[in-house]
Amino acid sequence: MRVTEVSMDMTKSLKKQIKLLFPRAKFVIDHFHVIAYLNNIIRDEYQFTIRYGYLSKEDKGKLPIRTKGMGIVRLLYQGGKHWTERDREKIKTVFKVMPRVAELWSAKEEVRAIYRESLDKDEARERWQSVLSVMPIIAKRTLKSNLEDILNYFDKKTTNAFTEGCHTKVKLLKRISFGLRNHQVYVEKLELGFVQPKLLTTTHTY
């Protein structure tokens, strides 16, 4: 009963279970998962256009060479801050040939700006309307049904970034170990992995 907020993704089944465990909790959909969802929409639109978009031979000739790889998609995941001049030229060409991809990318970057700039929930809700207006039908329905939980972020700026970071570190330790047969060794590696680096470099006297 003391839990007042739960930060999570947009999984409906998980939400139902959490509601039973924490009846007083308010759901906050973490902004990382929102951006990831929008990136997936951009990726799907880009790949669909490449395969079934009926691009003219002239437009196909303008596209960067690595259209079938993940190079362009990874650039579209980013906000452009770390793009090189060559990256900018590639994306500029993609946006010219695929205006729908450019529209969705701009909407995703507007969401980033909403999280960064909005002072309260009402301002964020108003700015979200322009984002929803350009979303595909299914994505619009999903985002609308979760919008209040998305906007709950602006109450206390709750995020599960620390937990996600812990998950990433645990998976990394497991991967670089190439499998672990001894349970105790795995536990000890995890404990060592979460020790502050400065404690490892400190000279100990026994």
pLDDT under 50: residue ranges of the chain:
67-69
Residue-range definition of the domain harbouring residue 104? 31-156
HSE, CB side, 13 Å, CA atoms: give it for residue 24.
4
Does 144 fall in a domain? yes
pTM over 0.85: no
* In a domain? residue 42: yes
Domain contains 117 = yes
In a domain, 1, yes or no: no
Residue 203's pLDDT is what? 62
Task: Give domain status of residue 194, yes or no.
Answer: yes
User: Domain check: are 131 and 193 in the same one?
Assistant: no
For residues 97 and 67, state if they share a domain: yes
Q: Looking at the structure, tell me whether residues 102 and 183 fall in a common domain.
A: no
Residues 152 and 174 in one domain: no
The reported pLDDT for the residue numbered 34 is 95
Does 204 reside within a domain? Answer: no
Q: Is residue 128 part of a domain?
A: yes
Do both 150 and 165 map to the same domain?
no
For residues 64 and 66, what is the distance between their CA atoms, to the nearest angstrom?
Answer: 6
Check whether residue 51 and residue 134 sit in a common domain: yes
Looking at the structure, tell me whether residues 145 and 54 fall in a common domain. Answer: yes
88 and 111 in a single domain? The answer is yes
Q: Which residues contact 62 (CB under 8 A, 6 or more apart)?
A: 93, 96, 97
Whether residues 113 and 173 fall in one domain: no
Indicate whether 180 and 147 sit together in one domain.
no
pLDDT score, position 21: 92
Residue 16 maps to a domain: no
3-state SS of the chain is: CCCCEEEECCCHHHHHHHHHHCCCCEEEECHHHHHHHHHHHHHHHHHHHHHHCCCCHHHHHHCCCCCCCCHHHHHHHCCCCCCCHHHHHHHHHHHHHCHHHHHHHHHHHHHHHHHHHCCCHHHHHHHHHHHHCCCCHHHHHHHHHHHHHHHCHHHHCCCCHHHHHHHHHHHHHHHHCCCCCCHHHHHHHHHHHCCCHHHHHCCCCC
Give the number of domains in the chain. Answer: 2
The pLDDT score that the predictor gives to residue 69 is 47
- 135 and 181 share one domain: no
